[in-house]
Amino acid sequence: MAERIHSYRTRAVILRRRNYSDADRILTVFTPGFGKRMLIAKGSRKTTSRKAGHLELFNHVSLLVAQARSWDIITESVTVESFLKLRGDLNSISRAAYVCELVDAFTAEDDEYEAVWELLLLGLRNLDGGPGGVAEADLFLRWFELQLLRLMGFQPELFVCLGCGEGLQPVENFLHLNAGGVFCPQCGRTMQGAEPVNVSTLKILRHIARNQWDALNGLQLTHASAMAVESVLQRYLVTILEHRLKSTDFIHRLRQSPAGSKKIGDAGAHVAFRGSSHSPPDPEDSFKEVD
């Protein structure tokens, strides 16, 4: 007697692929309704497979999936967005890989995270869309990291002291990665594991954390500031995940290649905006806005 096969349709982004047997692949996908899920694409390694082209990394696809005892089986796939521009640029590919690896690392299988799905699509579309340079793409990654941390309940505390609860002042404060945020000088100065964080780095972190991407687009940081902010967030992510993300090495290797177009400004934390007809948000205001 034929067993009844239950199928379901879902949108998905391909986060990861690995070969399985001579013909098949196991895909880690992220979906709006089921969160992360592992699926098998039978026959997708064969060059004649009609499915294969749709199941590239980063693709946004519509899938028909048959339930099975181990991995559910992809029986039909149609590309919704293939992010072709992104695929033509190594810098964008490395950042898309990073975005996908972050989502993979922070989410569990079969837990619904619709907001993360929206963020992931926004991330891939942004990396696909912009004429923006490497510095803008890096700023976008910092924004993406802070948004993902917030959605997953790991937002670092950047506004009030983790010790006394007082609003942080625009002075040198103390960052504690394991504690998940910042302490005021009184609480943090002698605390083990705390490190000084300068005013500008904290201002920029707060500004990125509290704004939507549209409001940040056009913000230019000096190389020194961008590196300081990146260092804080990278180390915070490693503290939470307890492992380094592989695609960060890829990004760093590309950065060392001569084609990298870094924007290098004065040392310190000068923040400038490029050509904009309306007044851009001012990260210097971020301390004033704290109540």
Q: Enumerate binding residues for Zn ion (CB under 5 A).
A: 161, 163-164, 184, 187
DSSP string, 44-90: TTSTT-SSGGGG-TT-EEEEEEE--SSSEEEEEEEEEE--HHHHT-H
Question: Least distance from C-beta 178 to Zn ion, angstroms?
Answer: 17
Least separation in angstroms between CB 269 and Zn ion: 23
Of 123, 125, 121, 150, the residue nearest 233 (C-alpha): 150
Which one, 68 or 171, has the nearer CB to Zn ion? 171
Q: Which of 103, 89, 108, 175 is nearest to 141 (CA)?
A: 103
At its nearest, how many Å lie between Zn ion and the CB of residue 192? Answer: 16
Q: Please, which residue, 161 or 233, has the CB nearer to Zn ion?
A: 161
For the record, the structure tokens of 225 come out as 């500031």
CB 198, min distance to Zn ion, A = 17
CA–CA separation, 225 vs 220, rounded Å? 10
If the CB atoms of residues 63 and 187 are measured against Zn ion, the closer one turns out to be 187
Q: Is the Cβ of residue 39 or residue 162 nearer to Zn ion in the bound state?
A: 162
- Pull the structure tokens for residue 241: 């995940």
Question: Of the two residues 65 and 161, which places its CB atom closer to Zn ion in the complex?
Answer: 161
DSSP state of 190: T
Minimum distance of Zn ion from residue 199's CB (angstroms): 16
Distance CA 217, CA 190 (A): 38
